[in-house]
Structure 1
Amino acid sequence: MGLLDGKVAIITGGGKGIGFGIASAFAEQGASLFITGRTEGRLAEAAEKLKGEYGADVAYTVAEGSDEAQVEAAVAKCIEHFGKLDVMVNNAQASKSGTNLIDHTKEDFDLAINTGLYGAFFYMKHAFPELKKTKGCVINLASGAGLFGKPGQSSYAAAKEGIRGMTRVAATEWGPDGVRANCICPLAMTEQLAAWKEAYPDTFAATIKGIPLGRFGDPKTDIGGVAVFLASDLSAYVSGETITVQGGSGLRP
């Protein structure tokens, strides 16, 4: 018996990186999955992997989080396919990471806000009526970039802190309906980070020294494991929280 047997989850950006890691962890625990993203080929490949390795029921659709009509259609397709929704995971985000605040353009800022903050807003808004029926939950991916003011991350940090604030309001407003909302701030080894490691090995090694556990997290076992907890009945009394999953580098009261 898996912790998520019988549950249906939408995972944005589920075709790669942390999103795919969370999808894998959910599938292993018995969840059915509806993954979204911007590249159909990547989604199709991810769906086949999840089906093949875990025997999961997986559907997908191409959807741009900044487009409310596409988001609404994606939620409707999930309901059409599975008949319900238990967990909404907002993971997808694009940004001009590495660009200093003073060098940002309005277009750079719009990219982060539209894909991240508006994306989470649209999915939460259109998922809520279904989550209310199942007493489900929202899991939003925030970031240490916002918590700790990481350089070169101004628009990304702004979007992620906006998501955290919206999550806390949702926890307050939706709690009476039995719907929970929480955030995860991850630090994980993704394809993008692996490329950065190869390009800047000395900087990578210095970064590792600042992580007490001495490594980057695994998208499935480390980040996905916490997401499974938040999606399961084990966290039935947890709402409005931000959990930093950063190997000890996110120490805070």
Structure 2
Amino acid sequence: MTTLAGGGQERVLAGKVAIVTGSGQGVGQGIALALAGAGAHVVVCGRTEATIDATRTEIEARGARALAVRCDVMVPDDLDRLVARTVEAFGTVDILVNSAMVVPAGTLLEISEEAVAAGWESGPLAALRLMRLCHPYLRGGGTVINVSSSASVNPSTHSRGVYAATKAALNALSRGAANEWGPDGIRVNTIFPLASTPALRRFAAEEPDAMADVIAGIPLRRLGDQETDIGAAAVFLASPASSYITGAILPVDGGAAYVR
């Protein structure tokens, strides 16, 4: 088995080119690192240069190729530039991961119009725009992985109704693209991740009792690792091992979405 330094994964994606939005931290970063560990060239993008540069540096330290592109997914010109820079550097796009999103929090009566708009603009609308931009390069074997949430199917969405709605829209867009783009040889799948991210670790520090309730609601009784659990699932969905899978939702959450 051929491995990258620090990677430990078979190079099932050797030579593939991946764009991962929101990959400066959290789930997006974990997916970017895992794809690089499987041999992909990774375009790291996000709004904060320091974080995307840190991810790029870590990928390169493991012996893989990476490009960091500052990008606000709510700005169409930034998305155009992201795809153009990717094609200029690597020639194509084989894998697109839509992970970036501004989380709109608050009850339906209290949440601001600005927060609602940011959720839609950064979530399903940005994903659709980027999917359309990448479509010509994804034809003939490319894959899209959209990062959704179990909130989209959870009957309890107190203070998360708008967030749940944006993720449900992303699920629907993913199914639509899987149907429409299957004849083009493009697979589109969705994941529900639950991982130990910086935001969740802050939540655990601030509200340990609430965090204990979260863990108790996970059948496997632990949070996932953003690289070895969530990232590994993304590698599978981007690899030939999943070549007959499209339009699916894969919960990578220890059973939290459907088992509890």
TM-score w.r.t. the length of structure 1 is 0.96
**Aligned ranges for residues 102-251 of structure 1 at < 5 Å?**
102-132=109-139, 134-149=140-155, 150-251=157-258
Partner residue of 1:88?
96
Displaced runs of 4 or more, over 2 A: none
Q: Does 1:22 align with 2:31?
A: yes
Whole-angstrom distance in 2 between the partners of 1:192 and 1:227:
21
Partner residue in 2 for 1:69 = 77
Q: How many Å separate the matches in 2 of 1:5 and 1:64?
A: 28
Corresponding residue SS for 2:109: helix
Q: Is the 8 A contact 1:186 1:223 kept in 2?
A: yes
Provide the secondary structure at the position in 2 that maps to 1:103.
coil
1:77 positional shift? 0.6
In the TM superposition, what is the alpha-carbon distance from 1:248 to its structure 2 partner?
Answer: 1.1
Q: State the AA in 1 paired with 2:195.
A: A
Instruction: State the AA in 2 paired with 1:22.
Output: I
Structure 1 SS opposite 2:153? helix
Contact 1:108–1:155 (8 Å) recurs in 2? no
Offset of residue 155 of structure 1? 1.7
Give the CA deviation at 1:34.
Answer: 0.5
**Identical positions, percent:** 38
Could you tell me which residue of structure 2 aligns to residue 58 of structure 1? 66
Deviation (angstroms), 1:114: 0.5
Q: What count of residue pairs does the alignment treat as equivalent?
A: 249
Deviation readout 1:157-185 (Å, 9 max, x if unpaired): 11111111011010011000100000001
SS of corresponding position for 1:148: coil
Match for 2:243: what amino acid? A
- The answer to whether the 8 A contact 1:96-1:155 is kept is yes
**Do structure 1's residue 47 and structure 2's residue 53 form an aligned pair?**
no
Unaligned runs of 5+ in 1: none
SS of 2:247's partner is: coil
Paired residues of 1:65 and 1:122 also in contact (CA < 8 A)? no
| Residue 105 (structure 1) shift | 2.1
Q: Which has the higher helix share?
A: 1
Matches of 1:76 and 1:122 in 2, distance apart? 14
Rounded to whole Å, the distance in 2 between the matches of 1:110 and 1:142 is: 18
RMSD: 1.1
Deviation of 1:33 (Å) = 0.3
